[in-house]
Amino acid sequence: MQVPEVLDRIPLLSGSPRTVEELPGGLTNRNYKVTVPGGVYVARVSASEASLLAIDRAAEHHNTMAAAEAGVGAPVHAYLPQEGVLVVGFIPGRTFTEADLRDSANLPRVAEACRRLHAGPRFRGTFDMFELQRHYLTIVQSRNFRLPARYLDFMDDVGKIRKALAVRDAGTVPCNNDLLPGNFIDDGRRLWLIDYEYSGNGDACFELGNIWSESNLTLDQLEELVTAYHGRRLRHKIARARLLGLMSKYGWTLWASIQDGANQDLDFDFWSWGMEKYERAVAEFTGSGLPYLMEEAVRAD
């Protein structure tokens, strides 16, 4: 079914005149800005087989509504599960870039937006990168997709990290889990968080560590972000976010492997994207600081 036909099935978007503009970004969906006399909306249309990537569209719909209730996400206006279409309100503002995330002046604003989301209604589903990484690994191996050299060599370290993080596990909160720069919208007053494909109840420190990883922030900036989030410097939280940021790089590497093997028709170099993350993960796994970080994560401040 073509996009105009899908939009015609949604009363809110079937008005005339209507303009449709494809928005940049989106590798597992296509986003369209739809302007009709009644307002401006974004139609998110699933563009690939989501099951391999453990994307639950029903949970995405539920969690997007919960994020809107928390005051940090766009309102939901329609959902067509059979067509994989989710319609949300268009948030006027500027989409963040990596430079914005690397600007320390923005880190308290990022922390505040995350706190609002994390304090909001519980999400549907659980997000655990340790479990997701193993799920992705099973898919990669069973389908003979490409696996980076020495990838399995670090699984013992992953087990040690998981054991260390269990010592001071503080429970879960509703998390986006995919806060790339493009998923922050600045309306001039505050930040909004969009795209809840990978959302679920998870570790707040994964959210912060993933932001650090995705925008390749410095270690000082990670400390600033975690400190702004908690309102004070907590060594074990900083170490926890850094360890989960490492798991972010290690786990999302396999996301890229799956995309590289399953979606070769897409004009995107998933393998290079994933290898950049993997190389940074290897540097942390093989560096001298990993045992110290695990010690920091279990100790009292």
Task: Report the pLDDT averaged over residues 240-258.
Answer: 98
Residue bearing the bigger pLDDT, 269 or 3: 269
> 236 with 169: CB under 8 angstroms?
no
> Are residues 63 and 101 located together in one domain of the fold?
no
35 forms beta bridges with: 19, 40
Same domain, 154 and 277: yes
Band (pLDDT 50/70/90 cuts) for residue 193 is very high
Write down the pTM of the prediction.
0.95
Whether 65 and 133 map to the same domain: the answer is no
pLDDT digits (tens, 9 = 90+) for 261-271: 987 667 789 99
Domain end position, chosen among 92, 113, 141 = 92
Reported as a single tens digit per residue, the pLDDT across 99-149 is 999 999 999 999 999 999 999 999 999 999 999 999 999 999 999 999 999
Residues 127, 68, single domain; the answer is no
Domain boundary among 50, 71, 92: 92
Q: Which of 92-101, 160-169, 255-264 has the lowest average pLDDT?
A: 255-264
CATH code, 109: 3.90.1200.10
134 shares a domain with 36: no
Would you state the structure tokens that stand for residue 48, as one six-digit string? 């690939």
C-alpha 11/C-alpha 80 separation (Å) is: 12
Domain boundary among 48, 74, 92: 92
Identify whether residues 195 and 132 lie together within a single domain.
Answer: yes
Q: Which residue has the higher pLDDT, 53 or 132?
A: 132
Q: Which amino acid is at 177?
A: N
- Total tally of structural domains belonging to the chain: 2
Considering the domain architecture, whether residues 10 and 61 belong to the same structural domain is answered as yes
Residue 125 and residue 166 share a domain: yes
Q: Within this chain, do residues 47 and 147 fall inside the same structural domain, yes or no?
A: no
Q: Which residue has the tokens 């110290």?
A: 292
Q: Which domain holds residue 48?
A: 3-92
